[in-house]
Chain A
Amino acid sequence: MSSVDMIEKAVQSERTSFRQAAKDMDSLTRRPEQRETVGEVRVEDPRVRCNDVNVYYGEKHAVMGVNLDIGRNEVIAMIGPSGCGKSTFLRCLNRMNDTIVGCRVTGQIFMDDQDINASGIDVVPLRAMVGMVFQKPNPFPKSIWENVAFGPRIHGLAHNKAELEEMVVTSLQRAGLWEEVKDRLEQPGTGLSGGQQQRLCIARTIAVGPEVILMDEPCSALDPIATAVIEDLIDELRGHYSIVIVTHSMQQAARVSQRTAYFHLGNLIEVGETTQIFTNPVHKLTEDYITGRFG
């Protein structure tokens, strides 16, 4: 083979591999398309109304054009395979995505006819109004009492010691923890059991008087008994708050929620009454998920 032939051949193979690479790039960057949501996303007199919410992590489009209402005194469950954007969407509702570098949120989220994404909105009162409970219980390394008093203190809610005391006690009572800890309020919150810690975190959230509570897989780090206690608690709390709960357990969604939203690859696929979603899903993807075909 002459050297000219060799060069020709090298250039050829270079070209083919370049074309292949370009094709690969294309299929990688081509975005999963946005889909229409099946079911009724709107409710009468919503507590929160989301219009066309999109979230981007840098280039990655993690939540796509979600429209959803959250009603008053309802528990709405978010289900879907992991990585579909449930947590990301949940964090939009109290603007916790602000704390993530490179995260960008578009669209409108109305509470009381006020867009929380509008410029000039202060996140401090917003986060007092929309509380959050995390996947892993994260009490501060302080006493039980101090954990619950933390929120009222930073928001200046109590005018004197007695009021603060009152807030701590009612929050602990409402979180169903009072009977277990009333004799050891001075002990560290980190010394409690996992389920108690999670209820302490709920009490801490309640103490600032929120109207909406966001819960991101609140039971996934807990044993079944502690989970059952928290589920009962969620049912009681519904009387006072709107609750958005992300869960991996479909049984849990069925037990505690009135409405269910199914997410898939950043899309809100289907929303409906919980009983309808679990007995009679409309969308094929929803059906596949709840019958356990994937996820």
Chain B
Amino acid sequence: MQTSMLIVVLLILSSIAFYLGRRRAFAVARGRARNLHSLPSYYGYYVALWCGLPALLVAGLWFSAEDAIITRMLVDNLPPEVRSLEPGRVDLVLNDIHNLVNGNITSREPDAAMLAAADHYRQLRATSHAALSVVALALAIVAGTFSLTRIRPEHRARNAVERIVMALLIACSSIAILTTVGIVLSVLFESLRFFQTISLFEFLFSPQWSPQTALRADQVGSSGAFGAVPLFAGTLLISFIAMAVAVPIGLLSAIYLSEYAGRRLRASVKPLLEILAGVPTVVYGFFAALVVAPMIRDAGLSLGLDVASESALAAGLVMGIMIIPFVSSLSDDVINAVPQSLRDGAYGLGATRSETVRKVILPAALPGIVGGILLAASRAIGETMIVVMAAGMAANLTANPLEAVTTVTVQIVTLLTGDQEFDSPKTLAAFALGLVLFVVTLLLNIFALHIVRKYREQYE
């Protein structure tokens, strides 16, 4: 039986089980739902869950283990001359057999032994699937029937169903949490490997970044220098330019929209600003690289300045534009949360609109606005695409926004693209950079959320 077929059959069985469970509940209650502990449909769900869940669980486990077991059996049956090959070559043969089975292109012309092995594989898989179908269906029927017989009027089906639902929800959320933990741990461990070759001190404080290392012992190449200071400086410079653009524009437009604009204007402009947030960053990236950077260079030339064709200024400006909707929509929320009674109080004392904004609304909203700005900053620090395209790769340690700089994220990209040895310091450096980025944005986010939350409490 096909896998999809099996799942469909299990679902159908579950629905039948639901129906039977409900009917049985009515039967044991002698037709009066009032005699039951729970609503009749809960008995239906109870039986349906018993019928479907264990079978699906077994099917899932079966599939995850199937391939490994079959491959092991296959290897045992391979001709001895293949089995005596070195492990890497055996893997290659197995890979070809897999490809043959799935109808993909193989690395070389298949010989008779391989064709036989592929047939064997197919057979084994068919057997395994048939066995699974039998086991799963049997389990579904047995578990369903068993739960059906347990239905009594006093049986607490509702509580049981609620417990199962809760378990399902917990399972799903733990998947999300465990994945995150897994990612963090893998980054952490790879970084630790990196710090076995390069000292943490050198990484954090040395001003020399040149990660090219010789791939082979006989190759001529630089030995590599892993001082990340130029990257941190570049990241800070670009984020600073971006914030210098985004904070004033975003904040002022939020003030205009929430305090000055009419209802109709606000209704049309707010969605427009939010569209800005929906533009893919790669589009901003080529806007920066193809429009803004040349413009800045030309402007610089006409002023007699020496501007690199890729500059921190271009990347920062465009990144700032990208972040405007962040700042403005967060500030707008915060400003709207300032109670109307405070505005009334100020107007009632004869304050003008701008006095009310400056002296009452902004001070009251300030913590929330700061929180929003910090969130935007963490977004700027982690942004990659625009800087890859517009800021260049040169690890210059400079405060001059007209020069090319590079950032942490750009270097992660360049370190990991292209042919790599996985355990060279060059590759591992990407993990170390990722770890730094992660820690910094995490701290920023925690801090910002803390501020925003405190601010909310003030008015509740």
Contacts and interface: CB of A to CB of B under 8 A. Distances in A.
Given A138-B339, A140-B342, A150-B359, A132 B364 contact: no
Contact of A101 (B263, B344, B360): B263
B351 A140 contact: no
B130 to A, nearest CB: 63
Interface string A144-172: 00000011001100000000000000000
Nearest to A99: B347
Interface in B293-349: 339, 341-349
B458 interface: yes
12 contacts: A96-B344, A127-B349, A127-B350, A138-B339, A138-B342, A138-B344, A140-B342, A150-B346, A151-B349, A154-B351, A204-B345, A205-B348
Given A140-B360, A141-B364, A154-B359, A123 B349 contact: no
Interface of A: 94, 96, 99, 101, 123-128, 131-132, 134, 136, 138-142, 150-151, 154-155, 201, 204-205, 208
A255 B350 CA distance: 30
Closest 6 CB pairs of A and B: A127-B350, A138-B341, A132-B348, A138-B345, A151-B349, A128-B350
A125 B352 CA distance: 11
A142 B341 contact: no
Nearest to B355: A154
Contacts of A123: 350
A124 B262 CA distance: 22
Pick the most buried of A94, A150, A201: most chain B CB atoms within 10 A of its CB.
A150
Given A101-B263, A140-B360, A150-B359, A134 B341 contact: yes
Given A138-B344, A208-B349, 10 more contacts: A101-B262, A123-B350, A124-B350, A125-B350, A126-B350, A127-B349, A127-B350, A132-B348, A134-B348, A154-B350
B349 A134 contact: no
A88 to B, nearest CB: 14
A141 B359 contact: no
Given A96-B344, A150-B359, A204 B349 contact: yes
B363 interface: yes
Given A136-B341, A154-B355, A131 B360 contact: no
A83 to B, nearest CB: 19
Pick the most buried of B262, B263, B342, B350: most chain A CB atoms within 10 A of its CB.
B350
B344 A131 contact: no
Given A138-B339, A141-B364, A127 B359 contact: no
A123 B350 CA distance: 7
B228 to A, nearest CB: 42
B337 to A, nearest CB: 12
A98 to B, nearest CB: 9
Contacts of B352: 124, 154
A96 B346 CA distance: 11
A124 B341 CA distance: 18
Contacts of B343: 99
A215 B458 CA distance: 26
Contacts of B350: 123-128, 151, 154-155, 208
Contacts of A140: 342, 345-346, 360, 363-364
Contacts of A201: 345
B358 to A, nearest CB: 10
A126 B355 CA distance: 16
A241 to B, nearest CB: 15
Contacts of B364: 140-141
Contacts of B345: 134, 138-140, 201, 204
B25 to A, nearest CB: 46
Nearest to A135: B341
Interface string B345-386: 111111110010001100110000000000000000000000
A99 B344 CA distance: 9
Contact of B348 (A101, A127, A136): A127
A94 B348 contact: yes
A137 B352 CA distance: 21
Contact of A131 (B263, B346, B349): B349
B370 to A, nearest CB: 15
Interface string B426-460: 00000000000000000000000000000000100
Contacts of B342: 138, 140-141
Contacts of B346: 140, 150
